[in-house]
Amino acid sequence: MRSPPLLSPRLSWRRMVGVFFLPFILPAFAPRFKHEESLMLGTAHPPQPRFNWSHLTPLELKNRSVGLGTASTGRGKPHFTLEGHRFLICGGSIHYFRVPRAYWRDRLLKLKACGFNTVTTYVPWNLHEPERGKFDFSGNLDLEAFVLMAAEIGLWVILRPGPYICSEMDLGGLPSWLLQDPRLLLRTTNKGFTEAVEKYFDHLIPRVIPLQYRQGGPVIAVQVENEYGSFNKDKTYMPYLHKALLRRGIVELLLTSDGEKNVLSGHTKGVLAAINLQKVQRNTFNQLHKVQRDKPLLVMEYWVGWFDRWGDKHHVKDAKEVERAVSEFIKYEISFNVYMFHGGTNFGFMNGATNFGKHTGIVTSYDYDAVLTEAGDYTEKYFKLQKLLESVSATPLPQVPKLTPKAVYPPMRPSSYLPLWDALSYLNEPVRSHQPVNMENLPINNGSGQSYGFILYEKSICSGGRLCAHAHDMAQVFLDETMIGILNENNQDLHIPELRDCRYLRILVENQGRVNFSWQIQNEQKGITGSVSINNSSLEGFTIYSLEMKMSFFERLRSATWKPVPDSHQGPAFYRGTLKAGPSPKDTFLSLLNWNYGFVFINGRNLGRYWNIGPQRTLYLPAVWLRPEDNEVILFEKMLSGSDIKSTDKPML
């Protein structure tokens, strides 16, 4: 059509009106990224929305058919819908396996009272299938109970079942027995890996099906794997997992989660792409827009803190920065999930590790400088976010639950001790092997090998020289009961002095946590990998002890002949004392400032690792794991005995 004359009087008044209203009209037609650019520059200030989700809770929404979906209304921005109603995901991460089951309700109620409508959680394959074909969904691993409790409290659930989850867990949540076969390629469509995934999903997904939204449950979305864009070893892997979930009956919204630079490589057709980030910057959403311009934005992980590593500093993040970011998410109706809302604890041997040139284990505490502390206490972040979310809620928020009380107990001194060498007879039968065998390939646990803890290699030698061995992660080397040196990834040999008589060579190796991120997960076998030699001559004929430190071992250890504690003892040993908790035990934090390196067991339950290099200086001890009055405390100290064990009502992280 031919354009009208430039000075047509018929259109001049319209032009004038248009020019006047241009600043108000253009934003509605502008590309969506302009809105996010304004957000990042701090130049746009849309009115603060007010939300009423009182009718959109698992308790109120009875008639269900369409679940969580996405919509775009003409000139408006794309947005989420729940049962057809406009919906903003305000999520917070709580990992059921990092929180004592007795405290699940408390943490979920605090999430709800802060103004959140959704809880997200990972599902750790390594904890649920500790041995090949042996599944555990009981006690603290009762996924279904956690999800149903969230529904009862009025929270929706986004499930992140992996199979790989990262989460700063040992091997990123993958079971260690996958490392038995070097031909099995993790996180690919390699036959050995997919066969294991199929069997795991065959057991896990039927538990999830009835928990889905359209089945009357609270699960509104399920994540496919985790951060695959940064791994990206197999283009067919993510589509395979997508189909694996669909054919087992997952009908709710499926999504992926990647760092902002890896969204493109992690994208899977037919799956919503979400983003993980530490802070919002000018180009934060550029890659995401290249993948999907017609979908609402979801920040699957907004990192409100960070994890700590041994020998590193304790990480904190300013509460005002967190408040500003969440405020911007709400203004621009960007759905978000706070990671972590409540971090919890890497109890036992759960922790993973990083390896950016050096293997470094994650500390026991997963406090994460989160919205709630490791012990579930309120923080400045909590109250700032509560005030913010209350300001945009059309209905009052629930009452804030009371704090969990803390206590300081009388200091205790171990009354008896047992050198490691005296405890060997209380372990399971040792393995006799021509060559050293790594943890994962030990013929124990119904063929699944050893996942965590320590492994001891013993061999009689009659001459000294240059000892060479590849030990992962850290090994103490002994002649009989005297330590002569340490082996690790940077030190793979040491000198053994000349011997007058034959002596026992003992190599005690600790798994300090398998790497949880990057391609290096493929090579995370622990113990001694390869041969052991003296002066280039390979040693043969080893006795191998598995020290998994399971509760059954400590039950057997009670019948051992313990000795009075000496003034000082060097070398690995167990130390036993009694914590007097009184008639009503309360949460506390154990302080081991004059001990060196080891683990603490309360009534046979593993609280986790302590280490004098910090940054963590206390271990969280939940009241629900204490008995009234007397509680057995056992320390496994690797290096040198300390004196007393104190408690405090405040953590030192």
> Residue 98 and residue 213: Cα distance in Å, rounded?
25
Residues carrying an active site annotation: 227, 301
What integer pLDDT is reported at residue 441 of this predicted model? 98
Contact criterion met (CB below 8 Å) for 304 and 339: yes
Question: What angle separates helix 191-208 from helix 237-246, to the nearest 10 degrees?
Answer: 30
Residue 365: closest CA among 633, 589, 58 = 589
Dist CA 416 CA 564 (whole Å): 5
Residues in the chain predicted with pLDDT less than 70, given as ranges, are: 1-49, 73-75
Closest CA to 284 of 305, 302, 266: 302
Cβ neighbours around 590 below 10 Å, total: 22
Question: How many angstroms separate the Cα of 390 from the Cα of each of 97, 116, 157, 333, 378?
Answer: 29, 10, 21, 16, 16
Yes or no: say if 514 and 521 are a contact pair by the CB < 8 Å rule: yes
Place of tokens 């690792």: 609
- Do the domains at 89-392 and 553-648 have one common CATH topology? no
**Confidence at residue 54, expressed as pLDDT on a 0 to 100 scale:** 86
| Spatial CB neighbours of 558, under 8 Å, sequence gap ≥ 6 | none
Beta bridge partners of 119: 92, 157
Contact call for residues 640 and 596 (beta carbons, < 8 A): yes
Question: What's the pLDDT score for residue 41?
Answer: 37
| Cα 373 to Cα 367: distance, rounded to the nearest angstrom | 6
Residue carrying the six token digits 């100290």: 637
Instruction: Tell me what pLDDT residue 9 has.
Output: 34
Cα–Cα distance for residue pair 152/242, rounded to 1 Å: 29
pLDDT value at position 77? Answer: 85
Q: Are residues 545 and 470 in contact, defined by beta-carbon separation less than 8 angstroms?
A: no
Question: CA quadruple 181, 187, 188, 192: dihedral positive or negative?
Answer: positive
Q: Which CATH architecture has domain 435-540?
A: Sandwich (2.60)
What's the CA gap between 469 and 457, in Å, rounded? 11
List the beta strands (DSSP E) in 150-307.
156-160, 219-223, 253-259, 272-277, 298-303
Retrieve residue 623's tokens. Answer: 């009241």
The pLDDT assigned to 24 comes to 36
111: tokens are: 């999430």
| Domain range 89-392, CATH class | alpha beta
- Residue 585 CB neighbour total at 10 angstroms: 21
Residue 334, token pair as written in the block: 């960007």
Tokens of 65: 């058919």
For residues 600 and 619, the answer to whether their CB atoms sit within 8 Å is yes
**Helix, strand, or coil (residue 267):** coil
Compute the distance between CA of residue 161 and CA of residue 205 in angstroms, rounded to an integer. 9
- Amino acid at position 458, single letter: E
Query: What is the rounded distance in angstroms from the CA atom of residue 217 to the CA atom of residue 213?
Result: 5
Pull the structure tokens for residue 52. 């009423």
Predicted confidence at residue 536, as pLDDT, reads 96
Strand, helix or coil for residue 589: strand
**Cα atoms in the Cβ-side hemisphere of radius 13 Å centred on 13:** 1
10 Å CB burial of residue 440 (0-12, 13-18, 19+) is buried
State the CATH class of domain 553-648.
mainly beta
- Tell me the CA end-to-end span of the chain in Å, nearest whole number: 72
414 close to 645: Cβ distance less than 8 angstroms: yes
- Which runs of consecutive H residues, i.e. helices, occur in 374-494? 380-391, 420-423
Domain positions in the chain are 89-392, 435-540, 553-648
- What pLDDT, on the 0 to 100 scale, is given for residue 74? 64
Q: Exposed, middle or buried, 604 (CB in 10 Å: 0-12/13-18/19+)?
A: middle
- Token pair belonging to 375: 């012990």
Summarised one tens digit per residue, pLDDT across range 20-65 is 333 333 333 333 444 444 444 344 455 566 888 888 999 999 899 9
**Dist. CA 480–CA 494, nearest whole Å:** 16
The first and second tokens of residue 94, run together, are: 């709580």
For 155, the token pair is 């929270």
Q: Which residues contact 5 (CB under 8 A, 6 or more apart)?
A: none
Contact present, 496 and 441 (Cβ < 8 Å):
no
Helices (H) and strands (E) in the chain, counts: 13, 34
Residues 259, 263, 268: CA angle, nearest 5 degrees: 130
How far from 653 is each of 304, 468, 504, 610, CA to CA, in Å?
Answer: 17, 37, 40, 11
- Cis upstream peptide for 40 (omega within 30°): no
